[in-house]
C-alpha cells in the first residue's frame, strides 16, 4: 500500500535514517540470517539484540530517557527568550542556528514533523531565529523561506502564539492580538472559562500569558522583518464577522468587550490580579526550577515574573533559567556544514521511558530479579507523587498516588504514566514487596478516583471536558482541554485488570465506554500517539485483559481493520496527517513503533499464527540495526493531535521489543529471547 503524496503530485521520498541521539548517523541493519530460520527464531534474535541495546542505555540510577524531538519552534523561541532577557550568547546561538538550518526543507520551509508539509508559523519563527543568529535575509535559504511565507499571508496569517513572540519586539502590534486579562485568575471554579476549565498544559501557559498581555512589553527589535509581511497588516479585531448566534461570533464580541474594558480596568483590581498570577506561578514551580516539567510554560513563566519585577538573579528566575538549560540536547552535526548543535526538548520523558522499557525487557524474557529491572523499579518507586496538585481541584478528597511523566513534576501526575508504572512494577521482583504493594494500592485508589463521569479517563484531570475553552480567539493552536481518550482509558483498564479488578463496576463502565468509542472501521482514535494504530494497539490488549473474548465482534473488527491496512512490506505506518484528513488513516511509511502497536493488538486477539503477524515480525527482524534499535525519523507521538507532534526516540525500541517478546512467548515458549551473556 502506498501513502498519499507529500508534495504536489509526486510520491513521498523515503526519509533519511533516524538518529538514535541527535546528530548521530544511521547504523546498518542486521545482515540476513545464514542459517535456516523462521519468524520465531528471527524474532528471538531480534529481541536479544534489542534487549542488549536497552540494557546498555540504562542510567546507573535505574531510569531510561530517549531524546524527545519536536520541531524548531522550541529552538527559535528559546533564542527569542534569551534575546528578550538580554542573555543570548554566541555559542548557544550558533549551535541552535545550526540545528534549525539542518531541519529546513528543500522548499525553504520548516515543518512540524518529519516529512510533513511546510508550516507558516514554524517557518516564520525559524526564520526570525536565524536572523538573530546573523543569517542575512538575501541568503538563498532565507530568501526562499521569506518568499514562501509571504505567499501564504506572512506574519498576519501566523498563529496567535507566534505573533505574541513577535509583539515582544515590536514586529507585531499588541492591539492586534486577542485580549487575555489577568483578572480571569479570580473566576470561581464553577464559572465558565475559569483557568481549571483548561487542560493543565494550557492553564500553565495561559496564566503567565495574562501577565504578558497586561504588561504588553516591547523590547527594541534588532532588525525589521518587512520581508515577512505580505502587505499591510490586517487588524485582527475586526476580521471576524461571525453571527452573534454562533459561538465564534459570541467569543469575538467578548474579545471586543475585553478590549473596551482594558483602558478602564480598575487599577487596584488589576494589581491584585497580577499579584495573584505571580503567586499562582511561583507556587507551581518545581524543585528543579521548571514548571510542570514542560518547556513552554517555563518560558512564559520566566517572562511573566521578570515583567513583574523579578530580576534575573532572583532565586525563582535563576532556577527557572537553569531548568531551561537542562532541556537542551547538545551533539555534533555531521557533514560539511556540521559542528556543535543544540536541540531543545519540549519536555523530558524519563518516567514514561522507564516504565515502557521495563515492560519491554520483562516481556522479552529478562528475569524479574534482573538487576536492571530491580534498579528501574526502585527508581520508579521514588518518583511517586505524594502531594496534591491541580488535579485535586476537582477531586479535593482524593489521596495522591500517581506518577508524572518527567524527572520533576509533582503538580501534574497523569493517569497514563501511573497505569504503565504499575504494570512495570508488577514485572520486577523488587526486594521490598511491601513497599511495592503499598505504592500500587495508593496508585490504584488515585487512578480510580480520577475516572470521569462517562467512564473514561483523561490524562491529567477528571471531567476536563468544557469545549468553551477552545472557542476563545486566543486558543488557535492545539487542544486546550483534557477529555477522556481511548488510549489512556485502555492503559488504565489494562492496569486495573492486572490488579484483579475486572469485576469492579468502574472497570466495567470503562470497558463499556471503550466499546462505544470504536469507530465504524474497527479502529480506535489515538489521542497521545499516531493515531488509529496507537489507539487500536492500546485498546485491544486492554479489552482482552479485562475479559472481553478474542471472538467478540469489536475485537474481530479491529483485527480485520489491522490486517486490511498492513503495508506491502509487512510493517504498519500512519502519517500525522490522519488527524485532519481521513484519507491518511493508517497510511504512511512503515515504522518500528507503529508496527509494534499493530502486533500487540493482533497478539492480544490470539492472532499469533496468522500471516499478517508473521509478516510484521519479519519486517521488524529485517529492518533492525546492528545496534539492536530501529531507524525511525517519523514522529509517532502526539502532544496535540496534528498541531504538536513528538518523536520519542525510545519508542523505536520499546514497542517493537514488547511485541517481539510476546510473539515468541506465544508461538514458541521454549525459544524465549533474552541476553545470553546476562
pLDDT digits (tens, 9 = 90+) for 151-172: 999 999 999 999 999 999 999 9
Q: Which CATH architecture has domain 39-67+346-464+483-667?
A: Alpha/alpha barrel (1.50)
- Rounded Cα distance between 462 and 119, Å, is 33
Answer yes or no: is pLDDT of 240 > 60: no
Strands (E), 334-447: 339-344
- Rounded Cα distance between 126 and 104, Å, is 9
Q: Which CATH architecture has domain 71-272?
A: Alpha/alpha barrel (1.50)
Residue 259's pLDDT band, with cuts at 50, 70 and 90, is: low
Instruction: Give the closest residue to 46 by CA, choosing from 660, 669, 678, 665.
Output: 660
Beta bridge partners of 637: 529, 646
Pick from 73-82, 240-249, 349-358, 484-493: least confident: 240-249
Mean pLDDT to the nearest integer, 558-575: 98
- Render pLDDT for 89-135 as a digit per residue (tens, 0 to 9): 999 999 999 999 999 999 999 999 999 999 999 999 999 999 999 99
Contact present, 428 and 376 (Cβ < 8 Å): yes
Strands (E), 8-79: 68-69
The DSSP result for 153-214, as a single string, is: TBGGGS-HHHHHHHHTTTSS-GGGS----GGGGGS-TTSTT-GGGS-HHHHHHHHHHHHHHH
- Rounded Cα distance between 327 and 343, Å, is 8
Among 33-42, 237-246, 586-595, the range of highest mean pLDDT: 586-595
Q: Which of 78, 119, 416, 589 is catalytic?
A: 416
Contact present, 366 and 51 (Cβ < 8 Å): yes
Residue 246: what pLDDT?
Answer: 59
Answer yes or no: is pLDDT of 238 > 50: no
Instruction: Give the closest residue to 194 by CA, choosing from 135, 280, 257, 103.
Output: 280
* DSSP letter (8 states) at residue 585: T
Same fold: 39-67+346-464+483-667 with 71-272: yes
416 flagged as catalytic: yes
Question: Domain coordinates of the chain in residue numbers?
Answer: 39-67+346-464+483-667, 71-272
Amino acid at each position: 500500500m502506498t501513502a498519499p503524496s507529500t508534495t504536489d503530485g509526486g510520491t513521498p521520498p523515503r526519509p533519511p535514517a533516524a538518529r538514535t541521539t541527535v546528530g548521530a548517523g544511521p547504523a546498518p541493519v542486521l545482515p540476513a540470517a545464514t542459517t535456516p530460520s523462521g519468524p520465531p527464531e528471527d524474532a528471538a534474535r531480534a529481541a536479544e539484540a534489542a534487549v542488549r541495546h536497552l540494557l546498555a542505555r540504562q542510567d546507573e540510577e535505574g531510569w531510561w530517557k530517549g531524546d524527545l524531538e519536536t520541531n524548531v519552534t522550541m529552538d527559535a523561541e528559546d533564542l527569542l527568550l534569551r534575546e528578550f532577557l538580554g542573555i543570548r550568547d554566541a555559542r548557544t546561538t550558533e549551535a541552535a542556528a545550526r540545528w534549525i538550518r539542518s531541519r529546513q526543507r528543500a522548499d525553504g520551509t520548516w515543518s512540524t514533523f518529519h516529512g510533513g508539509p511546510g508550516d507558516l508559523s514554524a517557518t516564520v519563527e525559524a526564520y526570525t531565529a536565524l536572523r538573530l543568529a546573523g543569517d542575512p535575509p538575501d541568503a538563498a535559504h532565507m530568501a526562499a523561506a521569506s518568499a514562501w511565507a509571504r505567499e501564504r499571508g506572512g506574519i498576519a496569517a501566523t498563529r496567535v502564539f507566534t505573533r505574541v513572540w513577535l509583539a515582544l519586539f515590536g514586529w507585531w502590534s499588541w492591539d492586534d492580538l486577542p485580549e487575555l486579562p489577568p483578572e480571569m485568575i479570580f473566576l470561581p471554579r464553577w464559572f465558565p472559562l475559569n483557568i481549571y476549565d483548561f487542560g493543565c498544559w494550557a492553564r500553565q501557559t495561559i496564566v503567565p500569558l495574562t501577565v504578558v498581555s497586561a504588561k504588553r512589553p516591547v523590547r527594541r527589535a534588532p532588525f525589521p522583518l518587512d520581508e515577512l509581511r505580505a502587505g499591510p497588516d490586517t487588524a485582527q479585531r475586526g476580521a471576524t464577522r461571525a453571527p452573534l448566534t454562533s459561538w465564534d461570533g459570541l467569543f469575538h464580541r467578548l474579545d471586543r468587550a475585553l478590549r473596551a474594558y482594558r483602558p478602564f480596568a480598575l487599577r487596584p483590581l488589576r494589581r491584585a490580579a497580577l499579584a495573584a498570577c505571580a503567586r499562582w506561578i511561583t507556587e507551581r514551580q518545581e524543585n528543579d526550577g521548571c514548571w510542570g516539567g514542560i518547556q513552554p510554560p517555563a518560558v512564559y513563566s520566566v517572562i511573566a515574573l521578570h515583567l513583574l519585577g523579578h530580576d534575573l538573579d532572583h532565586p525563582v528566575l535563576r532556577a527557572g533559567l537553569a531548568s531551561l538549560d537542562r532541556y537542551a540536547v547538545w551533539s555534533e552535526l555531521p557533514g560539511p556544514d556540521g559542528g556543535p548543535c543544540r536541540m531543545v526538548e519540549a519536555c523530558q520523558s524519563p518516567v514514561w521511558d522507564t516504565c515502557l522499557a521495563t515492560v519491554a525487557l520483562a516481556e522479552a524474557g529478562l528475569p524479574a530479579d534482573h538487576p536492571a529491572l530491580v534498579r528501574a523499579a526502585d527508581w520508579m518507586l521514588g518518583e511517586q507523587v505524594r502531594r496534591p496538585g491541580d488535579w485535586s481541584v476537582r477531586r479535593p478528597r482524593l489521596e495522591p498516588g500517581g506518577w508524572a511523566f518527567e524527572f520533576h513534576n509533582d503538580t501534574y501526575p497523569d493517569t497514563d504514566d501511573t497505569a504503565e508504572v504499575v504494570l512495570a512494577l508488577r514485572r520486577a521482583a523488587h526486594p521490598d514487596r511491601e513497599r511495592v504493594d503499598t505504592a500500587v494500592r495508593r496508585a490504584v485508589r488515585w487512578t480510580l478516583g480520577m475516572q470521569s463521569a462517562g467512564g473514561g479517563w483523561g490524562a491529567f484531570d477528571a471531567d476536563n471536558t468544557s469545549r468553551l475553552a477552545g472557542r476563545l480567539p486566543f486558543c488557535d493552536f492545539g487542544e486546550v482541554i483534557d477529555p477522556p481518550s481511548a488510549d489512556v482509558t485502555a492503559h488504565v483498564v489494562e492496569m486495573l485488570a492486572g490488579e484483579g479488578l475486572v469485576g469492579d463496576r468502574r472497570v466495567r463502565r470503562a470497558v463499556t465506554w471503550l466499546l462505544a468509542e470504536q469507530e465504524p472501521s474497527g479502529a480506535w482514535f489515538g489521542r497521545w500517539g499516531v493515531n488509529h494504530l496507537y489507539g487500536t494497539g492500546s485498546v485491544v490488549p486492554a479489552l482482552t485483559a479485562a475479559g472481553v473474548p478474542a471472538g467478540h465482534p469489536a475485537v474481530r473488527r479491529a483485527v480485520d481493520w489491522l490486517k486490511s491496512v498492513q503495508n506491502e512490506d509487512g510493517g504498519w505506518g500512519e502519517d500525522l496527517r490522519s488527524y485532519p484528513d481521513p484519507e491518511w488513516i493508517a497510511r504512511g511509511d512503515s515504522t518500528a513503533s507503529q508496527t509494534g502497536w499493530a502486533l500487540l493488538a493482533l497478539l492480544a486477539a490470539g492472532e499469533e499464527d496468522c500471516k499478517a503477524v508473521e509478516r510484521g515480525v519479519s519486517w521488524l527482524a529485517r529492518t533492525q540495526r546492528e545496534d539492536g534499535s530501529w531507524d525511525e525519523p517519523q514522529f509517532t507521538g502526539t502532544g496535540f493531535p496534528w498541531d504538536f507532534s513528538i518523536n520519542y526516540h525510545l519508542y523505536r525500541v520499546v514497542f517493537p521489543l514488547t511485541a517481539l517478546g510476546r510473539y515468541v512467548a506465544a508461538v514458541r515458549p521454549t525459544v524465549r529471547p533474552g541476553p545470553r551473556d546476562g
